[in-house]
Amino acid sequence: MTDPRVQKFAEILVNHSARIVKDDRVLIEATEAARPLINELYKEILKKGAYPIPAIWNFASQDALYYKYASDEQLDFVPPLHKIAYEQFESRIRVHSATNTRALSGVDLNKLQRRGKALGEITATQMKRGGAGEFKWVTTLFPTKAYAQDADMSLEDYEDFVYSACHANEEDPIAFWNKVKEEQQVAIDNIQGRNQVILKGPNVDLSLSIKNRIFLNSAGVFNMPDGEIYTGPVEDSVNGWVKFTYPAIYNGVAVEGAELTFSNGKVTSAKADKNQDFLLKMLETDAGSRYLGEFAIGTNFGIDQFTGQILFDEKIGGSFHMALGASYPETGGKNKSAIHWDMICDMRDDSEILVDGELYYKNGEFAF
């Protein structure tokens, strides 16, 4: 029997996040592990008069086998189904549903980098069409045993955590997310149109410019769960230092104690306590991978612990995160890269954000 929270979850994704309407073509990306949610999504999309297309259906060992056996030509290959869907469809719903979150931990870094460059074409299309309102994409997660283990939870507790964070356990979750949007808009109104941002704390001493950049209100449209405000900082404006307090995970590799130094926007020095080689390799992906594509503040205090899943962790209330690589064009960001790697820093202890010299944020809370 289907968990009623799964049905409610599907309704949130179709009606609020992806905003599906009649005749939309909807690509569904998932694994077999997410079958209960995919079934519900399929029904909800059909009820809208739209066309669900679960064409990208990964099997458990697919990526690991690809990196083990693919030639350079195959690593450079851009999947035609992805390409067509991202260029022509009206929507995409991606459901992270891994059964082994460490499947790529032993993969050759050169192969990961090469494949990332090839798939960068897909990422660029998503960001361009999404920013123009032509492509309604949303990324979410279905609770699996692998994710539960990463979060040090039982599967049952992790399911409770996920559905609570998405508010699929409430009678009217869409009303909740609309309220979040209203509250976050106040924070945006207090920073939009300003210039200099300074972050100070035990793990950060950084300045950047947001001049002529647009802050976006993230309340369940592109991500579910959600809870952040974000923009693309002026590319050459970032100066200073930051040590990210949570592991920075990319392609299943956890970089712990990542520390970056910026000069005129560019990462000039990088080190880490664990997997430093991976960090340095990803920084060499392309010309844009050493620059920031995103600066954001997490606002979801319902996500109160690190789980190893960036979809949740970057929304932790009282934190900020930055992404190396591609900008979201709708923010005014101009950085282009095959990567978009979010890294999170806690701001709840002896920390503050100043905007044009005025206190904007202190110890994890907005100062207004």
Which tokens sit at 311?
């979809």
Question: Distance (Å, rounded) from C-alpha 1 to C-alpha 333?
Answer: 46
Q: Delineate the domains of the chain, giving CATH numbers in brackets.
A: 4-171 (3.40.1830.10), 178-366 (no CATH)
Which tokens sit at 56?
């990208």
Question: Distance (Å, rounded) from C-alpha 245 to C-alpha 254?
Answer: 12
Question: Distance (Å, rounded) from C-alpha 61 to C-alpha 59?
Answer: 6
Q: Is the peptide bond before 54 cis (omega within 30 degrees of 0)?
A: no
Residue ranges in the chain modelled with pLDDT below 70: 1, 56-57, 60
Contact between 334 and 328 (Cβ < 8 Å): no
Owner of token pair 């690589």: 325
Question: Distance (Å, rounded) from C-alpha 101 to C-alpha 106?
Answer: 12
- Span 313-351, pLDDT tens digits: 999 999 999 999 999 989 999 999 989 999 999 999 999
Which tokens sit at 5?
């929270």
Bridge partners (DSSP) listed for residue 274: 256
CA angle 34, 36, 38 (to 5 degrees): 65
Side-chain-side CA neighbours of 84 within 13 Å: the count stands at 7
Owner of token pair 């405000």: 229
Total count of residues recorded for the chain: 368
Question: Distance (Å, rounded) from C-alpha 303 to C-alpha 309?
Answer: 11
- Span 253-288, pLDDT tens digits: 899 999 999 999 999 999 999 999 999 999 999 999
What pLDDT score was predicted for residue 252?
A: 81
Q: Phi and psi at residue 208, in whole multiples of 5°?
A: -155, 165
Contact between 219 and 181 (Cβ < 8 Å): yes
Model's pTM, two decimal places?
A: 0.86
